[in-house]
Structure 1
Amino acid sequence: MSTDRSSAGDPARTLALLWGGGEERPGRRGPRQARTVPEIAAAAIALADAEGLAAVTMRAVAQRLGLSPMALYTYVPGKAELLDLVLDTVYAAMPRRTPADDGWRARTAAVADDNAALFAAHPWVADIATGRPPLGPGLMAKYEYELRALEGLGLGDVETDAALSFVLGFVHSCARAAADERAAEQQSAMSDEQWWAGNADLLAKVFDPERFPTAARIGAAAGEAHGAASSAAHAYAFGLQRVLDGLAALEAEARSRRGLAPESDA
Protein backbone atom coordinates (compact mmCIF):
# COMPACT_ATOMS: atom_id res chain seq x y z
CA MET A 1 0.00 0.00 0.00
CA SER A 2 1.46 3.39 -0.96
CA THR A 3 2.24 5.66 1.97
CA ASP A 4 3.19 8.63 -0.21
CA ARG A 5 0.69 10.48 -2.34
CA SER A 6 0.75 13.54 -4.50
CA SER A 7 -1.16 16.73 -3.70
CA ALA A 8 -0.92 16.10 0.04
CA GLY A 9 0.41 19.58 0.77
CA ASP A 10 -1.09 23.04 0.67
CA PRO A 11 -2.64 23.45 -2.82
CA ALA A 12 -1.91 27.17 -3.15
CA ARG A 13 1.72 26.80 -2.12
CA THR A 14 2.18 23.72 -4.29
CA LEU A 15 0.83 25.42 -7.41
CA ALA A 16 2.96 28.50 -6.76
CA LEU A 17 6.02 26.25 -6.48
CA LEU A 18 5.25 24.22 -9.61
CA TRP A 19 4.31 27.13 -11.84
CA GLY A 20 6.87 29.60 -10.50
CA GLY A 21 9.46 28.61 -13.08
CA GLY A 22 12.20 28.11 -10.50
CA GLU A 23 13.27 31.74 -10.70
CA GLU A 24 13.82 34.04 -7.78
CA ARG A 25 10.69 36.06 -7.07
CA PRO A 26 10.81 39.71 -8.18
CA GLY A 27 10.95 42.09 -5.24
CA ARG A 28 12.13 39.41 -2.81
CA ARG A 29 13.99 41.01 0.09
CA GLY A 30 17.21 39.69 1.58
CA PRO A 31 20.31 38.08 0.05
CA ARG A 32 20.09 36.32 -3.28
CA GLN A 33 19.22 32.66 -2.88
CA ALA A 34 22.10 30.26 -3.45
CA ARG A 35 20.02 27.55 -5.12
CA THR A 36 17.16 27.28 -7.58
CA VAL A 37 14.02 25.18 -7.47
CA PRO A 38 15.15 23.05 -10.45
CA GLU A 39 18.41 22.31 -8.62
CA ILE A 40 16.45 21.21 -5.57
CA ALA A 41 14.24 18.97 -7.70
CA ALA A 42 17.29 17.42 -9.38
CA ALA A 43 18.92 16.70 -6.01
CA ALA A 44 15.77 15.05 -4.66
CA ILE A 45 15.35 12.95 -7.80
CA ALA A 46 18.98 11.79 -7.66
CA LEU A 47 18.49 10.82 -4.02
CA ALA A 48 15.31 8.87 -4.80
CA ASP A 49 16.98 7.10 -7.73
CA ALA A 50 19.95 6.08 -5.59
CA GLU A 51 18.29 5.20 -2.29
CA GLY A 52 14.52 5.03 -2.83
CA LEU A 53 11.68 7.38 -2.01
CA ALA A 54 11.96 6.87 1.75
CA ALA A 55 15.40 8.52 1.65
CA VAL A 56 13.97 11.77 0.31
CA THR A 57 13.58 13.99 3.36
CA MET A 58 13.99 17.72 3.67
CA ARG A 59 17.13 17.18 5.75
CA ALA A 60 18.69 14.74 3.28
CA VAL A 61 18.01 16.98 0.29
CA ALA A 62 19.37 20.00 2.13
CA GLN A 63 22.57 18.12 2.97
CA ARG A 64 22.97 17.07 -0.66
CA LEU A 65 22.78 20.73 -1.69
CA GLY A 66 25.00 22.06 1.06
CA LEU A 67 22.12 23.88 2.73
CA SER A 68 20.71 23.81 6.23
CA PRO A 69 17.26 22.21 6.56
CA MET A 70 15.79 25.59 7.53
CA ALA A 71 17.29 27.18 4.41
CA LEU A 72 15.61 24.56 2.23
CA TYR A 73 12.23 25.60 3.62
CA THR A 74 12.73 29.04 2.08
CA TYR A 75 12.54 27.35 -1.32
CA VAL A 76 10.08 24.50 -0.73
CA PRO A 77 7.26 24.66 1.87
CA GLY A 78 7.64 21.03 3.01
CA LYS A 79 8.03 17.35 2.16
CA ALA A 80 4.58 17.06 0.55
CA GLU A 81 5.25 19.95 -1.82
CA LEU A 82 8.74 18.57 -2.53
CA LEU A 83 7.16 15.27 -3.59
CA ASP A 84 4.90 17.07 -6.06
CA LEU A 85 7.88 19.01 -7.37
CA VAL A 86 9.98 15.93 -8.11
CA LEU A 87 7.01 14.11 -9.65
CA ASP A 88 6.17 17.00 -11.95
CA THR A 89 9.83 17.39 -12.85
CA VAL A 90 10.22 13.78 -14.00
CA TYR A 91 6.98 14.13 -15.95
CA ALA A 92 8.35 17.20 -17.73
CA ALA A 93 11.60 15.41 -18.57
CA MET A 94 9.97 12.25 -19.99
CA PRO A 95 11.30 11.33 -23.44
CA ARG A 96 8.63 10.87 -26.09
CA ARG A 97 9.15 8.13 -28.60
CA THR A 98 8.38 8.54 -32.28
CA PRO A 99 5.63 6.00 -33.06
CA ALA A 100 5.98 3.53 -35.88
CA ASP A 101 3.21 5.31 -37.79
CA ASP A 102 0.60 8.00 -37.22
CA GLY A 103 -2.26 5.65 -36.33
CA TRP A 104 -3.79 5.73 -32.84
CA ARG A 105 -2.55 2.21 -32.09
CA ALA A 106 1.11 3.10 -32.70
CA ARG A 107 0.73 6.41 -30.86
CA THR A 108 -0.86 4.71 -27.85
CA ALA A 109 1.84 2.03 -27.78
CA ALA A 110 4.42 4.83 -27.75
CA VAL A 111 2.64 6.41 -24.77
CA ALA A 112 2.73 3.09 -22.92
CA ASP A 113 6.42 2.62 -23.73
CA ASP A 114 7.17 6.18 -22.58
CA ASN A 115 5.59 5.50 -19.20
CA ALA A 116 7.27 2.10 -18.91
CA ALA A 117 10.61 3.82 -19.53
CA LEU A 118 9.79 6.40 -16.85
CA PHE A 119 9.14 3.68 -14.26
CA ALA A 120 12.32 1.85 -15.29
CA ALA A 121 14.41 5.01 -14.87
CA HIS A 122 12.68 6.09 -11.66
CA PRO A 123 11.10 3.01 -10.01
CA TRP A 124 9.99 5.02 -6.96
CA VAL A 125 7.43 6.88 -9.10
CA ALA A 126 5.26 3.74 -9.07
CA ASP A 127 5.11 3.94 -5.27
CA ILE A 128 3.38 7.34 -5.26
CA ALA A 129 -0.41 7.35 -5.17
CA THR A 130 -1.53 9.90 -7.76
CA GLY A 131 -5.31 9.88 -7.40
CA ARG A 132 -4.92 13.63 -6.81
CA PRO A 133 -2.16 14.43 -9.29
CA PRO A 134 0.05 17.52 -8.99
CA LEU A 135 -1.37 19.89 -11.58
CA GLY A 136 1.98 21.29 -12.62
CA PRO A 137 3.28 22.07 -16.10
CA GLY A 138 5.01 18.71 -16.42
CA LEU A 139 1.86 16.73 -15.71
CA MET A 140 -0.32 18.92 -17.93
CA ALA A 141 2.09 18.57 -20.89
CA LYS A 142 2.15 14.81 -20.34
CA TYR A 143 -1.65 14.58 -20.14
CA GLU A 144 -2.11 16.70 -23.27
CA TYR A 145 0.35 14.58 -25.25
CA GLU A 146 -1.19 11.31 -24.11
CA LEU A 147 -4.76 12.36 -24.84
CA ARG A 148 -3.77 13.38 -28.36
CA ALA A 149 -2.45 9.86 -28.93
CA LEU A 150 -6.03 8.59 -28.60
CA GLU A 151 -7.45 10.93 -31.22
CA GLY A 152 -8.99 8.92 -34.03
CA LEU A 153 -10.70 6.41 -31.76
CA GLY A 154 -13.95 8.34 -32.07
CA LEU A 155 -14.58 8.35 -28.32
CA GLY A 156 -16.30 10.98 -26.23
CA ASP A 157 -14.32 13.07 -23.79
CA VAL A 158 -15.10 10.94 -20.73
CA GLU A 159 -14.40 7.72 -22.64
CA THR A 160 -11.09 9.13 -23.90
CA ASP A 161 -9.99 9.96 -20.38
CA ALA A 162 -11.06 6.50 -19.19
CA ALA A 163 -9.21 4.85 -22.08
CA LEU A 164 -6.02 6.68 -21.12
CA SER A 165 -6.45 5.65 -17.48
CA PHE A 166 -6.86 2.06 -18.69
CA VAL A 167 -3.57 2.20 -20.60
CA LEU A 168 -1.64 3.91 -17.81
CA GLY A 169 -3.09 1.57 -15.18
CA PHE A 170 -1.83 -1.42 -17.15
CA VAL A 171 1.66 0.08 -17.44
CA HIS A 172 1.71 0.92 -13.72
CA SER A 173 0.74 -2.65 -12.83
CA CYS A 174 3.53 -4.03 -14.99
CA ALA A 175 5.99 -1.59 -13.44
CA ARG A 176 5.13 -2.85 -9.97
CA ALA A 177 5.60 -6.45 -11.12
CA ALA A 178 9.00 -5.58 -12.58
CA ALA A 179 9.95 -3.85 -9.32
CA ASP A 180 8.93 -6.97 -7.39
CA GLU A 181 11.18 -9.06 -9.65
CA ARG A 182 14.13 -6.78 -9.01
CA ALA A 183 13.50 -6.70 -5.26
CA ALA A 184 13.34 -10.51 -5.07
CA GLU A 185 16.63 -10.82 -6.93
CA GLN A 186 18.34 -8.24 -4.73
CA GLN A 187 17.06 -9.70 -1.46
CA SER A 188 17.88 -13.32 -2.35
CA ALA A 189 21.08 -12.52 -4.30
CA MET A 190 19.78 -14.93 -6.95
CA SER A 191 18.01 -14.57 -10.26
CA ASP A 192 14.56 -16.14 -10.57
CA GLU A 193 16.06 -18.93 -12.70
CA GLN A 194 18.68 -19.66 -10.02
CA TRP A 195 16.06 -19.64 -7.26
CA TRP A 196 13.78 -22.10 -9.05
CA ALA A 197 16.69 -24.38 -9.93
CA GLY A 198 17.89 -24.32 -6.33
CA ASN A 199 14.46 -25.24 -4.94
CA ALA A 200 13.35 -27.69 -7.65
CA ASP A 201 13.96 -30.79 -5.51
CA LEU A 202 12.01 -29.36 -2.57
CA LEU A 203 9.07 -28.42 -4.77
CA ALA A 204 9.05 -31.84 -6.42
CA LYS A 205 8.47 -33.47 -3.01
CA VAL A 206 5.23 -31.56 -2.37
CA PHE A 207 3.84 -30.93 -5.85
CA ASP A 208 1.69 -33.71 -7.34
CA PRO A 209 1.44 -33.33 -11.16
CA GLU A 210 -1.32 -35.97 -11.34
CA ARG A 211 -3.50 -33.92 -9.00
CA PHE A 212 -2.80 -30.66 -10.84
CA PRO A 213 -2.17 -31.78 -14.44
CA THR A 214 -3.06 -28.48 -16.14
CA ALA A 215 -0.93 -26.46 -13.75
CA ALA A 216 1.92 -28.91 -14.19
CA ARG A 217 1.82 -28.78 -17.98
CA ILE A 218 1.36 -25.04 -18.41
CA GLY A 219 3.59 -24.11 -15.50
CA ALA A 220 6.40 -26.20 -16.93
CA ALA A 221 6.00 -24.60 -20.36
CA ALA A 222 5.99 -21.08 -18.87
CA GLY A 223 8.94 -21.88 -16.64
CA GLU A 224 10.95 -23.16 -19.59
CA ALA A 225 10.08 -20.07 -21.62
CA HIS A 226 10.82 -17.52 -18.89
CA GLY A 227 13.28 -19.26 -16.61
CA ALA A 228 10.88 -18.39 -13.79
CA ALA A 229 7.23 -18.63 -12.84
CA SER A 230 6.53 -15.45 -14.77
CA SER A 231 8.22 -12.63 -16.66
CA ALA A 232 7.26 -9.00 -16.18
CA ALA A 233 8.76 -8.13 -19.56
CA HIS A 234 6.74 -10.83 -21.33
CA ALA A 235 3.58 -9.83 -19.46
CA TYR A 236 4.05 -6.24 -20.61
CA ALA A 237 4.65 -7.13 -24.26
CA PHE A 238 1.72 -9.58 -24.34
CA GLY A 239 -0.64 -7.40 -22.32
CA LEU A 240 -0.03 -4.20 -24.25
CA GLN A 241 -1.26 -5.81 -27.43
CA ARG A 242 -4.40 -7.01 -25.63
CA VAL A 243 -4.95 -3.50 -24.24
CA LEU A 244 -4.72 -2.11 -27.77
CA ASP A 245 -7.08 -4.84 -29.02
CA GLY A 246 -9.56 -3.78 -26.34
CA LEU A 247 -9.38 -0.15 -27.47
CA ALA A 248 -9.89 -1.29 -31.06
CA ALA A 249 -13.10 -3.01 -29.98
CA LEU A 250 -14.16 0.20 -28.24
CA GLU A 251 -13.45 2.12 -31.44
CA ALA A 252 -15.60 -0.33 -33.43
CA GLU A 253 -18.47 0.18 -30.97
CA ALA A 254 -18.16 3.95 -31.25
CA ARG A 255 -18.18 3.82 -35.04
CA SER A 256 -21.17 1.47 -35.00
CA ARG A 257 -23.11 3.90 -32.81
CA ARG A 258 -22.47 6.60 -35.39
CA GLY A 259 -23.43 4.32 -38.28
CA LEU A 260 -19.90 4.26 -39.74
CA ALA A 261 -18.13 1.32 -41.31
CA PRO A 262 -15.33 -0.38 -39.31
CA GLU A 263 -11.90 1.11 -39.80
CA SER A 264 -8.62 -0.75 -39.35
CA ASP A 265 -5.61 0.83 -37.64
CA ALA A 266 -2.43 -1.11 -38.10
Structure 2
Amino acid sequence: MKLEGARVLVTGGGSGIGRHLVERLLADGAEIAVLELDAARCAELADAAGGKVRAVSCDVSDAAAVDGALQNLFDTGFEPDVLVNNAGVIHSEPLVNLLSRGDKVHSREAWRRVIATDLDSVFFVTSRVVERMLAKRIKGVVISISSIAAGGNAGQSAYAAAKAGVNALTCTWAKELGAMGLRFVAIAPGFFDTPSTRAALSEAVLTRLQQQIPLRRLGELESLYLAVRHAIENDYLTGTVLEVDGGLVL
Protein backbone atom coordinates (compact mmCIF):
# COMPACT_ATOMS: atom_id res chain seq x y z
CA MET A 1 0.00 0.00 0.00
CA LYS A 2 1.28 3.43 -0.89
CA LEU A 3 1.18 5.89 2.00
CA GLU A 4 0.43 8.87 -0.22
CA GLY A 5 -3.33 9.11 -0.53
CA ALA A 6 -3.99 6.45 2.12
CA ARG A 7 -6.69 7.18 4.69
CA VAL A 8 -5.20 6.71 8.15
CA LEU A 9 -7.07 6.69 11.47
CA VAL A 10 -4.92 7.34 14.56
CA THR A 11 -6.11 6.94 18.14
CA GLY A 12 -4.59 9.23 20.76
CA GLY A 13 -3.23 11.52 18.08
CA GLY A 14 -3.42 14.76 20.02
CA SER A 15 -0.05 14.67 21.78
CA GLY A 16 3.24 12.82 22.21
CA ILE A 17 3.98 9.92 19.89
CA GLY A 18 0.53 10.09 18.32
CA ARG A 19 0.88 13.76 17.45
CA HIS A 20 4.26 13.15 15.81
CA LEU A 21 2.82 10.30 13.76
CA VAL A 22 -0.12 12.43 12.64
CA GLU A 23 2.14 15.28 11.55
CA ARG A 24 4.52 13.01 9.63
CA LEU A 25 1.76 10.97 7.99
CA LEU A 26 0.07 14.18 6.90
CA ALA A 27 3.34 15.57 5.52
CA ASP A 28 3.82 12.40 3.48
CA GLY A 29 0.45 12.71 1.81
CA ALA A 30 -1.93 10.63 3.90
CA GLU A 31 -5.50 11.67 4.70
CA ILE A 32 -5.85 11.68 8.50
CA ALA A 33 -8.58 11.18 11.07
CA VAL A 34 -7.93 11.17 14.81
CA LEU A 35 -9.78 9.83 17.83
CA GLU A 36 -8.58 11.83 20.85
CA LEU A 37 -9.96 12.02 24.39
CA ASP A 38 -9.18 15.71 24.90
CA ALA A 39 -11.69 17.85 22.98
CA ALA A 40 -9.43 20.92 23.21
CA ARG A 41 -6.58 19.00 21.63
CA CYS A 42 -8.94 17.89 18.86
CA ALA A 43 -9.78 21.48 18.05
CA GLU A 44 -6.14 22.57 18.23
CA LEU A 45 -5.00 19.68 16.04
CA ALA A 46 -7.60 20.36 13.37
CA ASP A 47 -6.76 24.07 13.41
CA ALA A 48 -2.99 23.48 13.22
CA ALA A 49 -3.48 21.17 10.25
CA GLY A 50 -5.50 23.77 8.39
CA GLY A 51 -8.57 21.58 8.33
CA LYS A 52 -6.72 18.64 6.80
CA VAL A 53 -7.24 16.43 9.86
CA ARG A 54 -10.62 15.16 11.03
CA ALA A 55 -10.37 15.09 14.82
CA VAL A 56 -13.15 13.52 16.89
CA SER A 57 -13.28 13.63 20.69
CA CYS A 58 -13.67 10.07 21.96
CA ASP A 59 -12.83 7.93 24.98
CA VAL A 60 -11.51 4.86 23.16
CA SER A 61 -11.84 2.75 26.33
CA ASP A 62 -15.64 3.15 26.06
CA ALA A 63 -17.12 0.75 23.51
CA ALA A 64 -20.28 2.79 22.94
CA ALA A 65 -18.28 5.99 22.48
CA VAL A 66 -16.03 4.24 19.96
CA ASP A 67 -19.00 2.95 17.98
CA GLY A 68 -20.53 6.42 17.83
CA ALA A 69 -17.32 8.22 16.88
CA LEU A 70 -16.48 5.74 14.15
CA GLN A 71 -19.98 5.86 12.70
CA ASN A 72 -19.63 9.64 12.61
CA LEU A 73 -16.43 9.31 10.56
CA PHE A 74 -17.94 6.72 8.24
CA ASP A 75 -21.01 8.89 7.67
CA THR A 76 -18.79 11.79 6.59
CA GLY A 77 -17.09 9.61 3.99
CA PHE A 78 -13.90 8.63 5.82
CA GLU A 79 -13.13 4.98 5.03
CA PRO A 80 -9.84 3.96 6.70
CA ASP A 81 -7.19 2.03 4.83
CA VAL A 82 -4.95 2.10 7.90
CA LEU A 83 -5.65 2.07 11.63
CA VAL A 84 -2.93 3.07 14.09
CA ASN A 85 -3.85 2.06 17.65
CA ASN A 86 -1.71 4.50 19.59
CA ALA A 87 -3.82 5.65 22.56
CA GLY A 88 -2.40 4.50 25.87
CA VAL A 89 -1.38 5.27 29.42
CA ILE A 90 1.51 4.06 31.58
CA HIS A 91 1.28 3.23 35.27
CA SER A 92 4.17 2.02 37.41
CA GLU A 93 3.47 0.27 40.71
CA PRO A 94 4.70 -2.99 42.28
CA LEU A 95 2.27 -5.86 42.78
CA VAL A 96 2.80 -5.55 46.55
CA ASN A 97 4.42 -2.49 48.12
CA LEU A 98 5.71 -3.54 51.53
CA LEU A 99 6.73 0.04 52.35
CA SER A 100 3.23 1.43 51.89
CA ARG A 101 1.47 2.59 55.05
CA GLY A 102 -1.91 1.96 53.47
CA ASP A 103 -3.09 -0.81 51.16
CA LYS A 104 0.05 -2.60 50.04
CA VAL A 105 -1.55 -4.25 47.00
CA HIS A 106 -1.42 -2.77 43.48
CA SER A 107 -4.33 -0.39 42.89
CA ARG A 108 -7.29 -2.18 41.32
CA GLU A 109 -8.45 1.13 39.85
CA ALA A 110 -5.10 1.73 38.15
CA TRP A 111 -5.07 -1.84 36.82
CA ARG A 112 -8.50 -1.41 35.28
CA ARG A 113 -7.66 2.00 33.81
CA VAL A 114 -4.51 0.77 32.07
CA ILE A 115 -6.13 -2.39 30.72
CA ALA A 116 -9.13 -0.38 29.50
CA THR A 117 -7.06 2.27 27.76
CA ASP A 118 -4.20 0.15 26.43
CA LEU A 119 -5.92 -3.14 25.60
CA ASP A 120 -9.71 -2.81 25.56
CA SER A 121 -9.45 0.19 23.24
CA VAL A 122 -7.46 -1.81 20.71
CA PHE A 123 -10.18 -4.47 20.65
CA PHE A 124 -13.05 -1.95 20.47
CA VAL A 125 -11.61 0.21 17.70
CA THR A 126 -10.07 -2.59 15.64
CA SER A 127 -13.21 -4.73 15.62
CA ARG A 128 -15.34 -1.92 14.20
CA VAL A 129 -12.73 -0.70 11.73
CA VAL A 130 -12.07 -4.22 10.45
CA GLU A 131 -15.81 -4.79 10.10
CA ARG A 132 -15.95 -1.68 7.92
CA MET A 133 -12.89 -2.67 5.90
CA LEU A 134 -14.45 -6.04 5.12
CA ALA A 135 -17.79 -4.47 4.18
CA LYS A 136 -16.03 -2.06 1.82
CA ARG A 137 -13.55 -4.68 0.59
CA ILE A 138 -10.60 -2.58 1.72
CA LYS A 139 -7.35 -4.53 2.05
CA GLY A 140 -6.14 -2.53 4.99
CA VAL A 141 -3.55 -2.70 7.73
CA VAL A 142 -3.89 -2.33 11.49
CA ILE A 143 -0.80 -1.11 13.34
CA SER A 144 -0.82 -1.22 17.13
CA ILE A 145 1.77 0.57 19.25
CA SER A 146 2.98 -1.97 21.78
CA SER A 147 6.09 -1.82 23.99
CA ILE A 148 9.15 -3.85 24.86
CA ALA A 149 7.50 -4.01 28.32
CA ALA A 150 5.27 -6.74 26.86
CA GLY A 151 8.04 -9.18 27.72
CA GLY A 152 7.62 -8.32 31.39
CA ASN A 153 8.84 -5.24 33.22
CA ALA A 154 9.22 -5.08 37.00
CA GLY A 155 6.83 -2.59 38.53
CA GLN A 156 4.53 -2.41 35.50
CA SER A 157 2.09 -5.30 35.88
CA ALA A 158 -0.84 -3.61 34.14
CA TYR A 159 1.15 -1.99 31.35
CA ALA A 160 3.12 -5.16 30.59
CA ALA A 161 -0.04 -7.28 30.58
CA ALA A 162 -1.86 -4.85 28.29
CA LYS A 163 0.97 -4.69 25.77
CA ALA A 164 1.44 -8.47 25.82
CA GLY A 165 -2.26 -8.66 25.01
CA VAL A 166 -1.80 -6.26 22.10
CA ASN A 167 0.94 -8.50 20.70
CA ALA A 168 -1.25 -11.59 21.07
CA LEU A 169 -4.19 -9.90 19.34
CA THR A 170 -1.91 -8.83 16.49
CA CYS A 171 -0.87 -12.43 15.82
CA THR A 172 -4.39 -13.80 16.31
CA TRP A 173 -6.00 -11.36 13.90
CA ALA A 174 -3.24 -11.86 11.32
CA LYS A 175 -4.12 -15.57 11.29
CA GLU A 176 -7.88 -14.95 11.25
CA LEU A 177 -8.04 -12.29 8.57
CA GLY A 178 -4.98 -12.64 6.37
CA ALA A 179 -6.91 -14.59 3.74
CA MET A 180 -9.19 -11.56 3.39
CA GLY A 181 -6.29 -9.27 2.59
CA LEU A 182 -5.96 -7.61 5.99
CA ARG A 183 -2.62 -7.19 7.75
CA PHE A 184 -1.79 -6.66 11.41
CA VAL A 185 1.50 -5.38 12.81
CA ALA A 186 2.57 -4.36 16.32
CA ILE A 187 5.42 -1.93 16.89
CA ALA A 188 7.24 -2.14 20.22
CA PRO A 189 9.24 0.99 21.07
CA GLY A 190 12.03 1.04 23.58
CA PHE A 191 13.05 4.29 25.28
CA PHE A 192 12.61 7.42 23.18
CA ASP A 193 13.84 10.94 23.75
CA THR A 194 10.54 12.64 24.54
CA PRO A 195 9.47 15.21 27.14
CA SER A 196 7.53 12.52 29.01
CA THR A 197 10.60 10.28 29.20
CA ARG A 198 12.77 13.08 30.53
CA ALA A 199 10.07 14.10 33.00
CA ALA A 200 9.76 10.56 34.34
CA LEU A 201 13.47 9.70 34.61
CA SER A 202 16.35 11.58 36.20
CA GLU A 203 19.48 12.38 34.19
CA ALA A 204 21.39 9.79 36.22
CA VAL A 205 18.85 7.09 35.38
CA LEU A 206 18.84 8.11 31.71
CA THR A 207 22.63 7.88 31.60
CA ARG A 208 22.61 4.37 33.09
CA LEU A 209 19.81 3.34 30.76
CA GLN A 210 21.65 4.49 27.65
CA GLN A 211 24.66 2.42 28.67
CA GLN A 212 22.42 -0.67 28.52
CA ILE A 213 21.28 0.10 24.97
CA PRO A 214 23.68 -1.31 22.34
CA LEU A 215 23.37 1.89 20.27
CA ARG A 216 24.10 3.91 23.45
CA ARG A 217 21.33 6.46 22.91
CA LEU A 218 17.62 7.03 23.24
CA GLY A 219 15.48 6.68 20.15
CA GLU A 220 14.21 9.58 18.07
CA LEU A 221 10.52 9.70 17.17
CA GLU A 222 11.41 9.74 13.48
CA SER A 223 12.67 6.16 13.86
CA LEU A 224 9.28 5.14 15.20
CA TYR A 225 7.52 6.89 12.34
CA LEU A 226 9.69 5.08 9.79
CA ALA A 227 8.64 1.76 11.36
CA VAL A 228 4.99 2.76 11.00
CA ARG A 229 5.52 3.76 7.39
CA HIS A 230 7.31 0.47 6.70
CA ALA A 231 4.39 -1.46 8.17
CA ILE A 232 1.97 0.43 5.94
CA GLU A 233 3.91 0.05 2.70
CA ASN A 234 5.30 -3.49 3.02
CA ASP A 235 2.41 -5.62 1.80
CA TYR A 236 4.04 -8.89 2.88
CA LEU A 237 4.44 -7.89 6.52
CA THR A 238 1.87 -9.23 8.97
CA GLY A 239 1.52 -10.98 12.33
CA THR A 240 4.78 -9.64 13.67
CA VAL A 241 6.06 -7.35 16.42
CA LEU A 242 8.66 -4.85 15.22
CA GLU A 243 10.97 -3.91 18.10
CA VAL A 244 12.35 -0.39 17.71
CA ASP A 245 14.59 -0.24 20.75
CA GLY A 246 18.22 0.22 19.72
CA GLY A 247 18.84 -3.43 20.57
CA LEU A 248 17.82 -3.14 24.24
CA VAL A 249 16.03 -6.50 24.41
CA LEU A 250 18.82 -8.49 22.75
Q: Same fold (TM over 0.5)?
A: no
Larger radius of gyration: 1
Q: What is the TM-score with the length of structure 1 in the denominator?
A: 0.29
Q: What is the TM-score with the length of structure 2 in the denominator?
A: 0.30
Larger relative contact order, structure 1 or 2 (CA cutoff 8 Å, min sep 6): 1
User: Which structure is higher in helix share?
Assistant: 1
